[in-house]
Amino acid sequence: MLYESLLLLAVVFLAGFIFVGLTHGATSGLAKLAFQLYLTGVVAAYFIWFWLHGGQTLAMKTWHLRLVGIAGQPVTLRQALLRFLVAVPGVLSGISVLWALFDRDRQFLHDRLAKTKIILIADTAVSHQRSAM
């Protein structure tokens, strides 16, 4: 989660830079609300796009993790949306992380509710290098 947060910080920073440039740094109440909604949409788009296109965010690729449905199938749009909507308050409050400590399969609460799971995948490039040795 820490590595994911660092990558997401860069995405949010770039998105914020674009928004501030387009609004010329407006600071009214409406501009603040629009900025918050915009950044929330950017974060949602980041996660949902990656989950629907291969099941891996940039950080998940680094750690050889993939998000799949319970039976190992690709995640649906409904599952991705539900997972994001439940994960945000669950992770920020710590409830979802605590849940994983006691879950029989060590799954987060948002994965249980969205009927998804994170799996460890083998890196084929590393596997081929090891077999060549």
Residue 40: what residue type?
A: T
Mean pLDDT of 103-125: 90
- What are the angstrom distances between the C-alpha of 42 and each of 23, 57, 82? 17, 14, 16
Per-domain boundaries in the chain: 2-132
DSSP 128: H
Q: Using N-to-C axis directions, what is the helix angle for 95-102 and 77-93, rounded to 10°?
A: 100
Q: What is the dihedral of CA 47, 52, 54, 59, to 10 degrees?
A: 10
The set of residues, in sequence order, having a beta carbon less than 8 Å from that of 129 and lying 6+ positions away, is none
Q: What is the pLDDT of residue 12?
A: 95
Backbone angles phi, psi at 99, to 5 degrees: -55, -45
Q: Could you read off the pLDDT of 52-109 as tens digits, one per residue? A: 999 999 999 999 999 999 999 999 999 999 999 999 999 999 999 999 999 999 999 9
What mean pLDDT value characterizes the chain? 91
The structure's pTM equals 0.84
